[in-house]
């Protein structure tokens, strides 16, 4: 029997469920992962990624030394960013001293020449709250720019805007603990069994106990097989279905009259507005039978309490904020806010995307969502940080890339993000990055993005540092150093402070309390001062189990579900919207709709899971095609297919399956060799600036083995 | 409010919720009843019978994990009859199954003075080659005591994947996939929740399995 050197409790680094895991360490390797059966939120349950996928930390391609591009000679001007084919050929190893001096010199030079707003900073939903807090503080207080954003822009920006403008809070309102006891719930645009596997298990338990499940999704995802009602709408017609459901609820008088009267505003106008969105109209638009829409509306509205869960299918759309607001309208009509087993629940993707947003990793807000444009908030942070700040909101992720292309952004600091696979329309992104005068990437692997950089800084992985992650249900949980970092890799917190000290010296900026935090706990203490909803959470209190914010004082148990005393906006606002079709619809040249998404075995850009044994379970890109479409195209499972859009093309293996609806093909986002985002378009939601990853017009044709080789090479 | 009832366990008066199991009621007053197939997060399958207790007035021994308490019951958790039953179960397991990865069971054998050798040498053991058919976990059914936890974790108690069931009858019974297909050809999603609940090391992270092999041969 194997004995372990130590067993370290921590939080899973993959998705937003935030499962509590134990790393079993032998000779400084993770050899096994277990979970405690009595610990929230997962109670001992894990998915394949958490239990078997953490071996990426030992992958031989881990960055172990600072790297500087070989063609850079100190003191002389050097070329723009460009993607290197190989790290070994294009970079040389450097000391930390040399690398940080170069980075500080260049950032300081560009900030002095063109102002702080010529620098763009990408925070990271994979890193800790403390890392992200210091990162945005560095950008705002030292570099003097609000150009801080992260991948939440590409995932839940639609939800955030859709929720903020109607109820004033964007976090998941209810808890994972409640899921087993649901009465009725609606899941839409979320392939929960793949993207949040452990949450899906809790939902299935509720279904076993008799809960009624309404799935609204164009793909026959696994949850649809467990559903009481499955509404299979045409891709991009979500708003039509939800508006028609609202129509039924109002028309049949099923709405919660007390809640609507006391907690909301704009109902009269809204009720008039949705009169024309009949279920019959929605059937024409969405293909969902009118009777099903009626049934779903009745089921949802008449339940004593009913929850709505959604994922990327709702948010990642050029009308993502409308989709989310349409769901808010439903919840307000039915009065399902502020109660157990109800609420509006955007399922957050990354392990700490909630935390990164909370910590102010966004261009328009300080930590705790205090707007940079609000003079009171600005004054508060100027006092806390002891330096002048500026009130102009910064640029978002996709806007920063565009600004780089136009030369308005000259330098980028990217910490633990991989926009060169995750941004839409990659060919354009590559061009934009290639216009940068200076680019620094801080990561654990030489990602597609890192290979554009002038300087690559090697960071410690999640298993090699301390800190906190905030999961999708607002639970702040500890991560712990279980291993030494490989080579000279350093925790992000140390790198940031080292760099900040150098930048302050060069720019003549002084912030309080300086950049000499003893560790993440001290940073977390400052977070509590910056945003009161975290003030009650201390490392000591979350030693064994995390606490759900808001938590204002040390005797506050935290908040299981929000809005019990009304929504933060005061009164919920019914949002009026019209149905808008997707920007790019299939046509004669590009007859199919492409939807992108996730697999169970991989994670986002694949930087981690492609370097883990998880890759054995899903080693190559597979495109899912409906049997009738496959027949027309002369394709069978196992064939290769070329998928072309107006922006690019990829080759993937074919799987014929009715999981995809007729006319829609599905391509996972995890494979750099068939990067789905070479195809997607960078049209943005006007309010949320989120791109549409679910609707791209493509052509599909049979490909040959030679094409496959070409792609791999 | 759940009504409370009174009963006696090992001569001690006990107050317990009316819907508690004997196991829970005993645990609440600090009496430990040994278990094997029982797991707090799973439906008790009550197949191992290690937790049996003597209930005065009931003919057979009762599995504590799956028996509800009743008012005025008089229960003995360490009577001679109970000890004999547990000892025999442990001895029979030890004669057929490799318990080298089950330290708790081995400790129990000492506790109950179990002597599997009394059944004689040369007994047929349940022997299987380890099944290594995926990158994530190994199934080594030499070590399987058929406790059923993995089947439940794969079913409605946790994963809803339903990849595991059993094959064979009687002594030949084994946990298995449909038609004993390799794991990647089943509905398995490799969550490893079965590995997490396995009490005897029959299911094991492949990395741990390989390390043990390497250490054993070096």
CB B166 within 8 Å of CB B178:
no
Q: Is residue B7 part of a domain?
A: yes
The span from the CA of B150 to the CA of A337, in Å, is 38
Question: Of B120, B91, B122, B123, nearest to B105 (Cα)?
Answer: B91
If asked whether residues B116 and B151 sit together in one domain, one would say no
- Answer yes or no: do A616 and B134 touch at CB < 8 A: yes
Q: For residue A421, what pLDDT is reported?
A: 87
Q: Is residue B60 part of a domain?
A: yes
Q: Which residues of B touch A199 (CB under 8 A)?
A: none
Task: Pick A1's closest partner by Cβ from B101, B160, B191.
Answer: B101
Task: Pick A208's closest partner by Cβ from B135, B137, B156.
Answer: B156
Residue-number span of the structural domain to which B47 is assigned: 1-125
Give tens-digit pLDDT for A516-528: 999 999 999 999 9
If asked whether residues B115 and B167 sit together in one domain, one would say no
Cα of B58 to nearest chain A Cα, Å: 33
CB A343 within 8 Å of CB A561:
yes
Strands A67-69 and B203-205: unpaired
- Where among B125, B149, B180 does a domain terminate? B125
A46 at the B interface (CB within 8 A)?
yes
B residues 78-97 closer than 8 Å to A (CB) = none
If asked whether residues B110 and B199 sit together in one domain, one would say no
Distance in Å from the first CA to the final CA of chain A: 44
- Answer yes or no: do A2 and B211 touch at CB < 8 A: yes
Cα of B192 to nearest chain A Cα, Å: 7
- Answer yes or no: do A46 and B101 touch at CB < 8 A: no
One of 3.40.50.620, 3.40.47.40, 3.50.50.60, 3.40.228.10 is the CATH number of A157-347, namely 3.40.228.10
Q: Which residues of chain B have pLDDT under 70?
A: 1
Cα of A21 to nearest chain B Cα, Å: 11
Band of pLDDT at residue A1, cut at 50, 70 and 90: confident
Cα of A181 to nearest chain B Cα, Å: 14
- Answer yes or no: do A51 and B196 touch at CB < 8 A: yes
Question: Of A496, A170, A517, nearest to A358 (Cα)?
Answer: A170
Residue with tokens 């000890």: B83
The span from the CA of B74 to the CA of B5, in Å, is 12
Residue with tokens 């249900």: A473
Q: Is residue B40 part of a domain?
A: yes
Tokens of B128: 């299987």
Rg (CA), chain B: 19
Domain boundary assignment for chain A: 6-58, 67-152+352-542, 157-347, 592-712
If asked whether residues B121 and B188 sit together in one domain, one would say no
- Answer yes or no: do A197 and B160 touch at CB < 8 A: no
Q: Is residue B181 part of a domain?
A: yes
CB A100 within 8 Å of CB A502:
yes
- Answer yes or no: do B190 and A197 touch at CB < 8 A: no
How many domains are contained in chain B? 2
The span from the CA of A420 to the CA of A358, in Å, is 25
- Answer yes or no: do A51 and B136 touch at CB < 8 A: yes
A179 at the B interface (CB within 8 A)?
no
Q: Which residues of A touch B197 (CB under 8 A)?
A: 44
Q: Which residues of A touch B196 (CB under 8 A)?
A: 34-35, 44-46, 51
Give tens-digit pLDDT for A46-102: 999 999 999 999 999 999 999 999 988 877 788 888 888 888 899 999 999 999 999
B residues 111-130 closer than 8 Å to A (CB) = none
If asked whether residues B104 and B198 sit together in one domain, one would say no
Choose the mutation target among B205, B213, B216 for the interface with A, i.e. most A CBs under 10 Å. B205
Give tens-digit pLDDT for A554-605: 999 999 999 999 999 999 999 999 999 888 999 999 999 999 999 999 999 8
B189 at the A interface (CB within 8 A)?
yes
CATH (domain of B73): 3.10.20.740
If asked whether residues B93 and B195 sit together in one domain, one would say no
Chain center to CA of A406: 26
| ipTM for the whole complex | 0.94
For A194, nearest residue in chain B (alpha carbons): B189
The total of other beta-carbon atoms located within 10 Å of residue A412's CB is 27
CATH (domain of B167): 3.30.70.20
B182 at the A interface (CB within 8 A)?
no
If asked whether residues B12 and B108 sit together in one domain, one would say yes
A207 at the B interface (CB within 8 A)?
no
Q: Is residue B132 part of a domain?
A: no
Average pLDDT along chain A: 95
Q: Which residues of A touch B40 (CB under 8 A)?
A: 37-38
CB A322 within 8 Å of CB A314:
no
CATH class assigned to A67-152+352-542: alpha beta
The span from the CA of A644 to the CA of A562, in Å, is 45
The total of other beta-carbon atoms located within 10 Å of residue A397's CB is 24
Percent of chain A at pLDDT > 70 equals 99
For B198, nearest residue in chain A (alpha carbons): A34
Q: Own/partner pairs for B182-188, CB < 8 Å, 24+ apart? A: B182/B131, B182/B133, B182/B134, B183/B131, B183/B133, B183/B134, B183/B139, B184/A617, B184/B133, B184/B134, B187/B161, B187/B162, B187/B163, B188/B134, B188/B154, B188/B161, B188/B163
Tokens of B187: 């509905």
Q: For residue A149, what pLDDT is reported?
A: 95
How many CB pairs below 8 Å do chains A and B form together?
Answer: 79
Question: Of A576, A568, A566, nearest to A262 (Cα)?
Answer: A566
Band of pLDDT at residue A709, cut at 50, 70 and 90: low
- Answer yes or no: do A201 and B160 touch at CB < 8 A: yes
Give tens-digit pLDDT for A425-462: 899 999 999 999 999 999 999 999 999 999 999 999 99
B41 at the A interface (CB within 8 A)?
yes
User: DSSP secondary structure string, A483-522?
Assistant: SPPSTT-B-HHHHHHHHHHHHHHHHT---SS-S--SSHHH
The span from the CA of B32 to the CA of B13, in Å, is 16
- Answer yes or no: do A34 and B101 touch at CB < 8 A: no
If asked whether residues B148 and B79 sit together in one domain, one would say no
Q: Is residue B80 part of a domain?
A: yes
If asked whether residues B88 and B184 sit together in one domain, one would say no
Task: Pick B208's closest partner by Cβ from A31, A46, A47.
Answer: A31
Cα of B101 to nearest chain A Cα, Å: 6
- Where among B125, B149, B164 does a domain terminate? B125
Q: Is residue B131 part of a domain?
A: no
If asked whether residues B21 and B72 sit together in one domain, one would say yes
Q: Which residues of B touch A35 (CB under 8 A)?
A: 196
**CATH architecture under which domain A592-712 falls:** Beta Barrel (2.40)
Question: Of A159, A150, A428, A191, nearest to A319 (Cα)?
Answer: A159
- Where among B81, B103, B125 does a domain terminate? B125
A332 at the B interface (CB within 8 A)?
no
Q: Which residues of B touch A55 (CB under 8 A)?
A: 207
Band of pLDDT at residue A712, cut at 50, 70 and 90: very low
- Secondary structure of chain B as H, E, C letters: CCCEEEEEECCEEEEEECCCEHHHHHHHCCCCCCCCCCCCCCCCCCCCCCCEEEECCCCCCEEHHHCECCCCCEEECCCHHHHHHHHHHHHHHHHHCCCCCCHHHHHHHHHCCCCHHHHCCCCCCCCCCCECCCCCEEECHHHCCCCCHHHHHHCCCCCCCCCCEEECCHHHCEEECHHHCCHHHCCCCCCCHHHHHCCCCCEEEHHHHHHHHHHHHC
For B216, nearest residue in chain A (alpha carbons): A1
Band of pLDDT at residue A683, cut at 50, 70 and 90: confident
For domain A6-58, say whether CATH 2.20.25.90 is its number: yes
Band of pLDDT at residue A24, cut at 50, 70 and 90: very high
- pLDDT at residue A711 tops 50: no
If asked whether residues B25 and B121 sit together in one domain, one would say yes
Q: Which residues of A touch B190 (CB under 8 A)?
A: 48, 52, 601, 617
The span from the CA of A341 to the CA of A184, in Å, is 8
If asked whether residues B37 and B117 sit together in one domain, one would say yes
């Amino acid at each position: 029997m194997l004995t372990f050197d130590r067993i370290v409790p921590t939080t899973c680094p993959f998705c937003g469920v935030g499962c509590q895991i134990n790393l079993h360490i032998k000779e400084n390797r993770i050899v096994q992962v277990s979970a405690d059966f009595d610990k929230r939120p997962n109670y001992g349950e894990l998915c394949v990624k958490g239990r078997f996928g953490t071996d990426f930390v030992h992958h031989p391609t881990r960055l172990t030394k600072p790297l500087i591009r070989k063609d850079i000679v100190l003191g002389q001007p050097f070329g723009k960013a460009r993607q290197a084919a190989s790290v070994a050929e294009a970079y040389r190893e450097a000391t930390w001293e040399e690398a940080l001096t170069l980075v500080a010199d260049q950032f300081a030079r560009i900030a002095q020449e063109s102002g702080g707003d010529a620098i763009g900073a990408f925070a990271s939903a994979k890193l800790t709250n403390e890392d992200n807090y210091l990162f945005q503080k560095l950008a705002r207080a030292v570099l003097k720019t609000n150009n801080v954003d992260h991948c939440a822009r590409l995932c839940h920006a639609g939800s955030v805007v859709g929720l903020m403008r109607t109820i004033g809070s964007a976090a998941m309102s209810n808890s994972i603990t409640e899921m087993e006891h649901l009465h009725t719930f609606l899941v839409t645009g979320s392939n929960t069994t793949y993207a949040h596997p452990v949450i899906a298990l809790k939902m299935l338990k509720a279904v076993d106990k008799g809960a009624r499940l309404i799935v609204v999704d164009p793909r026959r995802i696994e949850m649809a097989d467990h559903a009481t009602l499955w509404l299979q709408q045409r891709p991009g017609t979500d708003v039509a279905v939800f508006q028609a459901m609202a129509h039924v609820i109002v028309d049949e008088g099923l709405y919660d009259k007390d809640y609507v009267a006391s907690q909301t505003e704009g109902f009269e106008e809204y009720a008039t507005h949705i009169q024309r969105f009949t279920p019959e109209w929605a059937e024409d638009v969405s293909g969902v039978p009118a009777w099903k829409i009626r049934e779903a509306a009745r089921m949802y509205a008449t339940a004593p309490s009913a929850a709505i869960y959604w994922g990327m299918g709702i948010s990642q759309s050029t009308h993502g904020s409308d989709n989310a607001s349409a769901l808010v309208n439903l919840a307000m009509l039915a009065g399902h806010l502020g109660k157990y087993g109800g609420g509006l629940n955007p399922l957050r993707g990354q392990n700490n995307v909630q935390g990164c947003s909370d910590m102010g990793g966004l261009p328009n807000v300080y930590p705790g969502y205090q707007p940079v444009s609000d003079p009171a908030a600005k004054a508060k942070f100027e006092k806390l940080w002891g330096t002048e700040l500026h009130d102009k909101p910064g640029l978002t992720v996709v806007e920063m890339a565009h600004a780089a292309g136009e030369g308005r952004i000259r330098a980028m600091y990217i910490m633990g993000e991989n926009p060169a696979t995750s941004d839409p329309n990659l060919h354009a992104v590559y061009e934009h990055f290639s216009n940068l005068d200076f680019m620094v990437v801080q990561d654990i692997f030489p990602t597609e993005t890192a290979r554009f950089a002038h300087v690559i800084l090697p960071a410690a992985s999640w298993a090699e540092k301390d800190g906190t992650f905030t999961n999708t249900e607002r639970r702040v949980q500890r991560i712990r150093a279980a291993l030494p970092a490989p080579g000279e890799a350093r925790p992000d917190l140390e790198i940031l402070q080292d760099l900040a000290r150098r930048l302050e010296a060069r720019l003549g900026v002084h912030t309080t309390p300086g950049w000499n935090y003893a560790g993440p706990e001290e940073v977390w203490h400052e977070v509590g001062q910056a945003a009161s909803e975290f003030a009650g959470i201390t490392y000591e209190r979350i030693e064994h189990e995390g606490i759900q914010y808001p938590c204002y004082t040390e005797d506050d148990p935290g908040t299981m579900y929000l809005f019990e005393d009304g929504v933060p906006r005061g009164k919920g606002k019914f949002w009026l919207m019209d149905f808008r079709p997707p920007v790019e619809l299939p046509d004669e040249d590009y007859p199919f709709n492409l939807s992108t998404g996730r697999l169970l075995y991989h994670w986002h850009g694949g930087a981690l899971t492609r370097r883990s044994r998880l890759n054995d379970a899903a080693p190559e890109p597979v495109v899912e095609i409906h049997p009738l479409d496959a027949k027309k195209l002369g394709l069978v499972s196992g064939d290769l297919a070329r998928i072309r859009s107006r922006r690019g093309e990829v080759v993937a293996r074919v799987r014929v399956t009715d999981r995809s609806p007729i006319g829609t093909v599905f391509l996972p986002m995890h494979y750099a060799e068939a990067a789905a985002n070479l195809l997607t378009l960078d049209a943005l939601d006007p309010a949320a600036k989120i791109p549409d990853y679910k609707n791209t017009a493509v052509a599909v044709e049979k490909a040959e083995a030679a094409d496959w080789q070409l792609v791999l090479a | 409010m759940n009504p409370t009832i009174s009963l006696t366990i090992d001569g001690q008066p006990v107050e317990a919720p009316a819907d508690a199991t004997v196991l829970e009621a005993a645990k609440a007053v600090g009496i430990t009843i040994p278990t094997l197939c029982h797991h707090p997060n799973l439906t008790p399958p009550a197949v191992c019978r290690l937790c049996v207790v003597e209930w005065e007035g009931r003919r057979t021994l009762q599995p504590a994990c799956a028996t509800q308490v009743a008012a005025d019951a008089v229960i003995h958790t360490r009577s001679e009859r109970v000890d004999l039953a547990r000892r025999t179960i442990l001895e029979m397991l030890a004669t057929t199954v490799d318990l080298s990865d089950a330290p708790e069971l081995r400790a129990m054998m000492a506790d109950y003075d179990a002597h599997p050798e009394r059944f004689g040498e040369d007994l047929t053991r349940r022997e299987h080659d380890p099944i290594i058919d995926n990158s994530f976990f190994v199934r080594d059914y030499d070590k399987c005591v058929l406790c059923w936890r993995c089947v439940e974790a794969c079913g409605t108690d946790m994963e809803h994947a339903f990849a595991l069931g059993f094959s064979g009858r009687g002594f030949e019974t084994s946990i298995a996939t449909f038609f004993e297909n390799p794991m990647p050809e089943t509905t398995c999603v490799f969550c490893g929740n079965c590995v997490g609940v396995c009490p005897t090391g029959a299911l094991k992270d492949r990395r741990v399995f390989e390390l043990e092999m390497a250490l054993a041969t070096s």
